[in-house]
Structure 1
Amino acid sequence: MARSRSVSSRVRAPRARGRDRHGRGLRSSVTGPHLPMLRGRIDLFESTVADTAEYLRGLWPELSSATFEVAGLPRAVSGPGIDRWLVIPEESRIILFRLPIERLSKLHINDEAHMRMMIEGCVLRAVGELLGRDPWDLAPDRFRHH
């Protein structure tokens, strides 16, 4: 007489935690092992701020003690608009607000190059406010065409 298999007699592989769908194993990155990881908006924003800040520190020794921070949104809205950055001169501190800069700026071409230029412009204007100078005098060679 043939015996029927019961559910308890089946051998099941232990389930891994994470994204193991239908027993196919964990997911790998979209780009694969040989390509660089994709960069998101936050990574682009933070690296652009850091690169621009280092460039300006090399030009202006007054910025050697300045700190540049990235925050999502300002805590409170002051006035009719939303602040893109906050400058605290007593602490030599600049806080750039990522979401208002990214979402409320109207770019005529919405690509990575134009976004980087817009973020650099915001950093230049914030540093100009901190130092009491015209932002375009801070880095005159930065935007010259070759």
Structure 2
Amino acid sequence: MKFNATDGEPSLNISLDPEISDAGPTAQPSGQRRRDRHGRGLRGPLLPAALPGSRTRSEKFEDLVVDSAERLRTLWPEALGGVDYLVEEVPDQLEARIASGKPAPFGKFTRAVPATPDAPAEPALIAIYRHPVEVLCDTDGQLRELVHEAVVEQVAGLLNLDPEMVDPLFRRFRGH
């Protein structure tokens, strides 16, 4: 857009295109917030990290798995010393399992693989699936019990023992 002044004054250029303007755009660097009133910036997190309310559901679930694993390691220090624990969201091929009428598994285990000249050793691994376990629980107490039962069942499968032998308190509070 061009505006011509009268009375012999030089013409004035007004542009709506930011690259042509004389002053140039006053763009903010990416990563900054657009709205920062009075230069105060962010005031801080809603909850400090030390408070339990700041933990996500997946972090709380991981804590429950770690607590169960530590309890079982105190009962079976030699057998479970080299076992790794993992939390996964859902099992592989979950849709196919549900479509075939099979229930969703709570976890899986893989036995340790000794080192070979071609491949390094792999430790035993126990994986617990978060979503199938959480779906069945209404309260935090139920979730804690079901996570512990899932870990105990996977450890029992890994050690070829009955779950009651792995943990004497297995299903004691459920009445099964």
Q: TM-score, normalised by structure 2?
A: 0.60
Tell me the CA shift for residue 114 of structure 1: 2.3
Which amino acid in the other structure matches residue 108 of structure 2? L
Q: Aligned Cα RMSD in Å?
A: 3.3
Separation in 1, partners of 2:169, 2:51: 34
Unaligned runs of 5+ in 1: 1-7
Separation in 1, partners of 2:51, 2:79: 40
SS at match of 2:126: strand
Tell me the CA shift for residue 45 of structure 1: 0.9
Which amino acid in the other structure matches residue 151 of structure 2? V
Match of 2:161 in 1: 133
**Structure 1 residues 63 and 36, CA, compared in 2 at 3 Å: closer, same or farther?**
closer
Match of 1:52 in 2: 68
1:85 aligns with 2:107: yes
Tell me the CA shift for residue 33 of structure 1: 7.9
Aligned length: 133
Q: Give the conservation status (yes or no) of the 8 Å contact 2:85–2:126.
A: yes
Separation in 2, partners of 1:53, 1:34: 23
Separation in 2, partners of 1:32, 1:57: 32
1:17 aligns with 2:31: yes
Match of 2:146 in 1: 118
Which amino acid in the other structure matches residue 126 of structure 1? Q
**Structure 1 residues 33 and 69, CA, compared in 2 at 3 Å: closer, same or farther?**
closer
Unaligned runs of 5+ in 2: 1-21, 114-123
Separation in 2, partners of 1:87, 1:34: 33
**Structure 1 residues 98 and 32, CA, compared in 2 at 3 Å: closer, same or farther?**
closer
1:67 aligns with 2:81: no
1:94 aligns with 2:126: yes
**Structure 1 residues 32 and 143, CA, compared in 2 at 3 Å: closer, same or farther?**
same
Separation in 1, partners of 2:111, 2:89: 21
Separation in 2, partners of 1:120, 1:30: 32
Q: Give the conservation status (yes or no) of the 8 Å contact 2:164–2:170.
A: no
Tell me the CA shift for residue 26 of structure 1: 1.9
Tell me the CA shift for residue 111 of structure 1: 2.5
**Structure 1 residues 144 and 74, CA, compared in 2 at 3 Å: closer, same or farther?**
closer
Which amino acid in the other structure matches residue 111 of structure 1? T
Which amino acid in the other structure matches residue 22 of structure 1? R
Q: From the CA coordinates, give the structure whose radius of gyration is larger.
A: 2
Separation in 2, partners of 1:68, 1:40: 19
